[in-house]
Amino acid sequence: MHTDSACEVRCLHPEAVQRATQALEAEPDLIGMASLFAAFGDPTRLRLLLALQIEPLCTCDLAVVLGVSESAVSHQLRTLKSLDLVESERRDRMMFHRLTSTITEALSAVARSHVVGSLTSAEAA
Amino acid sequence: MHTDSACEVRCLHPEAVQRATQALEAEPDLIGMASLFAAFGDPTRLRLLLALQIEPLCTCDLAVVLGVSESAVSHQLRTLKSLDLVESERRDRMMFHRLTSTITEALSAVARSHVVGSLTSAEAA
DNA sequence: ATCTTATTTGAGTCATTGTTCAATCGTTCA
DNA sequence: TGAACGATTGAACAATGACTCAAATAAGAT
């Protein structure tokens, strides 16, 4: 089968296309990376992660901090746990949730510097 | 108005909640950061950004690489431009798009290391 | 100026997802 | 054992968003 010989496709720079395509094929964890970014891409989840950067919190504390229901927190925590971003431990009657790694710090630092950089260059007044 | 004196809210660790809340209030660009992560969180957009990491490409080249319509590429580019991730320049008859900064490299490097770390610890067989 | 080419835009559609509500589960204390 | 509490789950819903198709725009070639 000929994938790129379709008649209506106009590929103007075949070599460049091939280089880019190969680069993407060499990225096996692309979906995993996108999922990770998507987790950070929701304001509620990002705030949850940043809150846990200070100290571990229980579900209902998180609900108060984030201003959503405890159910919503639990749903988001499930997502974050599946991505190995958060781990939980029972203490007293409640579950305490904490970050598993420093990736939250690393990613948010990079993002923060880009955003403030864009803002200052956008102000420029 | 009393924001936290609602009667049905049970706040088990008021001091911890306050610390977390203050930390979030000290993050003025939180929405901007979340928008940035969300841009990286879509597989098509992430692939687009990684493709541009190799070299600048025109719209229809990107369409071939990503396997979507040129219209879809253009829509995604609009998003990425609004976030100062991509800039475009006309050459010959076509628009060439390139990354504006190295943030794609920085973010993807952090994400990649976390994903492979999670995979290896998940394998463990 | 006209036609062609590359890109952009807008409308519309379908899938995804973040949320709440209600019900259930699991622990702990009486 | 039973009651209370914290957390989790599932269903339902609203909102967001990614895509295609069709039409419009912009710039180069004839």
Q: Which residues pair with B71 in a beta bridge?
A: none
pLDDT at B47 over 60: yes
Residue B53 falls inside a structural domain? yes
CATH number at residue A107: 1.10.10.10
- Put simply, the answer to whether B34 touches A46 (Cβ < 8 Å) is yes
Q: Looking at residue A5, what is its pLDDT?
A: 36
- Asked if residue B20 belongs to a domain, the reply is yes
Q: Please report the pLDDT score of residue B1 as a whole number.
A: 36
Report the pLDDT value the prediction gives residue B10, as an integer from 0 to 100. 73
Residue B4 pLDDT class (50, 70, 90 cuts) = very low
Q: Which residue has the higher pLDDT, B1 or B109?
A: B109
Give me the amino acid identity at B38. A
Q: Does B46 contact A65 at a Cβ distance shorter than 8 Å? A: no
Half-sphere exposure of B66 (CA within 13 A, CB side): 27
Please state, for a pLDDT cut of 90, what percent of chain B lies above it. Answer: 82
The pLDDT, as a whole number, for residue B123 is 65
pLDDT band at B119 (very low <50, low <70, confident <90, very high): confident
Number of A–B residue contacts, CB under 8 Å: 189
How many independent structural domains does chain B possess? 1
Name residues of chain A where pLDDT drops below 50.
Answer: 1-7
Q: Are A114 and B103 within 8 A, CB to CB? A: yes
Q: In chain A, which residues have their Cβ closer than 8 Å to the Cβ of B17?
A: 57, 61, 64-65
Establish if B3 belongs to a structural domain: no
Once rounded to an integer, what is the mean pLDDT over residues B29-36? 97
- Domain membership of residue B6 (yes or no) is no
Residue A109 belongs to a domain: yes
Q: Do the domain assignments include residue B5?
A: no
Q: Show the 3-state SS of chain A.
A: CCCCCCCCCCCCCHHHHHHHHHHHHCCCCHHHHHHHHHHHHCHHHHHHHHHHHHCCEEHHHHHHHHCCCHHHHHHHHHHHHHCCCEEEEEECCEEEEEECCCHHHHHHHHHHHHHHHHHHHHHCC
Other residues' Cβ atoms within 10 Å of the Cβ of residue B119: 14
Task: Give the single-character DSSP code of B83.
Answer: T
- How is residue B82 annotated by DSSP? H
What's at A1, amino acid-wise?
Answer: M
> What is the pLDDT averaged over residues B75-85?
98
Among B47, B94, B117, beta carbon nearest to A12: B94
Residue B59 host element (H or E)? helix B59-66
Residue A2 lies in a domain: no
Give DSSP secondary structure letters for B1-55. --SS--TT---S-HHHHHHHHHHHHT-TTHHHHHHHHHHHTSHHHHHHHHHHHHS
Query: For all residues of chain B together, what is the average pLDDT?
Result: 91
d(CA B36, CA B56): 21
**What pLDDT is recorded for position B80?**
98
Residue A8 forms part of a structural domain: no
Pick from A46, A84, A108: CB nearest B118: A84
Domain holding A25, by residue range, is: 14-124
* Contact call for A30 and B47, based on CB within 8 A: yes
